[in-house]
A and B are shown apart, each in its own frame.
Chain A
Amino acid sequence: MITGKTLSKKVILIGNFGVGKTSLTRQFVYQKFSDEYLTTLGVKIDKKVVEIGNDLVNLMIWDIAGEVSQTRVNTSYYLGSNGIIYVFDVSRPSTYEQMEIDIEYVQKLLPNVPVLRVANKADLLTEEQIANISVSYDFLCSAKTSHNVEETFLKLTQAMLS
């Protein structure tokens, strides 16, 4: 039984195009996956209610169109964000080479907002190949198999509440 507060938090998913931001959101919100790549334009907004302890949290998930650099994203999309998920594709090094520069840029616009680094498409590589990835991340995910998808969003929600 829910006896606590109901809160609303805005989460943004950012990163290069084709890394699976929309697929992660779709898997988390609707438990669905498609191999077909459909580019996102502007921002796609979905909502999911999660339970954290006694509280209900309305997560407004802003899936922002991917760009090579976050400096090319309209900053109005970032306004009012409470949490950030930076997504990259483990099979495409170009999608994580700029990650720290991108995160530093976004954190200047959103100071004190928690960030999670998500390595997506884990199903495309072997364990050995994944071990050779040169950047660190918080979650290794697969939107296809749903591995760690729920865990990522719940971890971020907890971080936003603390």
Chain B
Amino acid sequence: MAKSLYIDLFEKAHQDFVQEAYLTILLNEEAEVLCSNNTLINLEPFYGQSVYTVFPFLEHLLQIGIPELSINLLEANLNQKNIKYRCIIKSFEKEDSTFFFVILQNVEWHYQELFRIQQERNEAVISKEMAILKK
């Protein structure tokens, strides 16, 4: 297979499996949207507006004031649709201004697998506990 074809395949796979799964957003200190890769949701209509209008849960995360924060599994509504994310926030300084770089990864596939395992574990523990209490 020609090398150029590998590169095409790689770029297509990257587009489908990586780029499309990650929403990245650059915010200023006031949490206004400056720029985004606009996957998951098109944020262009929100440029210059507060990111909290789209992702209200970010408010209490941006205010913490630590350089890097990760929430590994977060479930919240986006346009009335329930979405499971991994959320990473990095803050940095540039020319005396603070900026935030937010990465929201869609982790639906990971969630479904984990959910099944956790549900079985929890149900088993609760059933065992209830059986002991009934004795």
Task: Verify if B75 is at the interface (C-beta below 8 Å from A).
Answer: yes
Say yes or no: A42-B59 contact (C-beta < 8 A), given A18-B122, A94-B129: no
Instruction: Name the contact of A43 in the complex, choosing from B71, B77, B115, B125 (C-beta under 8 A).
Output: B71
Question: Do the beta carbons of A39 and B73 come within 8 Å of each other?
Answer: no
The reply on A26 being an interface residue by CB < 8 A is no
Contact of A43 with B73 in the complex, beta carbons under 8 Å: yes
Query: In this complex, what residue of A is CB-closest to B120?
Result: A39
State which of B66, B75, B129 has its C-beta within 8 Å of the C-beta of A44.
B75
Which single member of A42, A60, A66, A94 contacts B72 (CB below 8 Å)? Answer: A42
- Complex: A13 Cα to B120 Cα, angstroms: 22
* Given A79-B64, A79-B69, A80-B63; A38-B76 close (CB under 8 Å): no
A45 and B64 contact, Cβ closer than 8 Å, known pairs A60-B56, A76-B69: no
Least CB separation from B61: chain A residue = A80
B118 contacts the other chain (Cβ, under 8 Å)?
Answer: yes
Residues of A within 8 A of B1 (CB): none
Q: Is the CB of A60 within 8 A of B60?
A: yes
The answer for the CA separation of A91 and B129 in the assembled complex, in Å, is 10
Which residue of chain B is the closest to A80 with respect to CB atoms? Answer: B60
Closest CB in chain B relative to A144 CB, distance in Å: 16
For window 59-83 of chain A, which residues contact chain B by CB distance below 8 Å?
Answer: 60, 62, 65-66, 74, 76-77, 79-81
Contacts of B73 on A, CB cut-off 8 Å?
Answer: 41-43
| Complex Cα gap A18–B129 (Å) | 12
B71 to A, closest residue via Cβ: A76
| Shortest distance from the beta carbon of B115 to any chain A beta carbon, whole Å | 6
**B70 cross-chain contacts in A, Cβ below 8 A:** 76
What CA separation (Å) do A60 and B74 show in the bound complex? 13
Interface residues of B in 44-74 (CB under 8 A from A): 56-57, 59-61, 63-64, 66, 69-74
Instruction: Check B2 for interface membership: any CB of A closer than 8 A.
Output: no
Q: B75 touching A42 by the CB < 8 A rule?
A: yes
Question: CB distance A58 to B64 under 8 Å?
Answer: no
Q: Which of A8, A37, A45, A80 contacts B74 (CB 8 A)?
A: A45
Q: B71: shortest Cβ distance to chain A, in Å?
A: 6
Question: Counting CB contacts under 8 A, is B5 at the interface?
Answer: no
Interface hub of B66, B123, B126 (most chain A Cβ within 10 A): B126
| A41 contacts B115, C-beta separation under 8 Å | yes
B7 within 8 A of A: no
10 intermolecular pairs with C-beta atoms under 8 Å apart: A39-B118, A41-B118, A43-B73, A46-B77, A76-B70, A77-B71, A80-B60, A80-B63, A80-B64, A93-B133
